[in-house]
Structure 1
Amino acid sequence: MYDDETAMELFLEAKQNYQDRGMIKWIGFYLSDHTALLNKDNQQRYKENLQKSQQTLEEIGLLLQQSYTQNKRIALQLEALDSERKYYDDLVGRVIGQKEQLIYLATDEEDMIHLEIEQIRHVRLLGANKILTKDESDA
């Protein structure tokens, strides 16, 4: 057993020789949930929505009308780019109304959006399922 003076000397000697490993000592504390969240964030950050073909106003109007009358889901690509000059994700939902050049879209996220028809680049009718498959989201 050590007396107080010997214990203090041993402590000071150990303190001088100890090298802190910094952040590396915390790596073992990352849980799979954390890494999954980081991976998902990276996928979202580096995801790129490809430019779809420009449809005519007649084609767009016909597909919007079909969505409204048959209560079908659609995916809209807007003629808008983000700060990195990439297209935004498609708006997915159902047309619930129209007034002159405005359409009202109820999105799958239960938001209600109104936008001008001229803002739409491409419209695509979707199936009944809520979840887009990889093939659907790339089309």
Structure 2
Amino acid sequence: MSKERDYYFEQYQDRKMKKWAGFYLSEHTTMIEQEQKKKPVKKKTQMTWSEIDEVLAQAFQNQIEITIQKEELDSEGNYGADIKGRIQGHDELGLYVDGQKIGYDEIRHVQLS
């Protein structure tokens, strides 16, 4: 390398990173704080299909609110938040709770709320 080029890189300061660092850090720290506030959902007992069917039938007939834990895990191996609501309808593949379709095979645990 030439001496001029060496001098340039020794004196070079990237102001762009400094300009955006404050913005990035505030957004990033907010996101990290929100993630830390989330507590992992506890694993509930796996119910048999007949137990699930019995609770769902009672909830549908009496229009009782239910809480469902899906069998789904996130990338860190934690269960997602419980789904709460009333059963709005069903078909041969699953049921609708507060506008969300949940397949029968996705249900790990269900209880009356």
TM-score by length of 2: 0.67
TM-score by length of 1: 0.55
**Residue 48 (structure 1) aligned with residue 40 (structure 2):** yes
Superposed structure 1 runs of 4+ greater than 3 Å apart: none
Letter of the 1:43 partner, please give it: K
Matched residue, 1:65:
57
RMSD of aligned Cα (Å): 1.9
In the alignment, which of 79, 90, 102 is matched to residue 98 of structure 1? 90
Per-residue deviation, residues 101-132 of structure 1 (Å, max 9, x unmatched): 311111xxxxx011211100000101xxxxxx
Matched residue, 1:114:
101
Distance 1:57 1:68 in 2: 16
How many residue pairs align between the two structures? 83
Distance 1:80 1:60 in 2: 16
* Bigger radius of gyration: 1
Identity percentage over the alignment? 33
Letter of the 2:65 partner, please give it: R
Per-residue deviation, residues 12-69 of structure 1 (Å, max 9, x unmatched): xxxxxxxxxxxxxxxxxxxxxxxxx88x72312xx11111100011111111111111
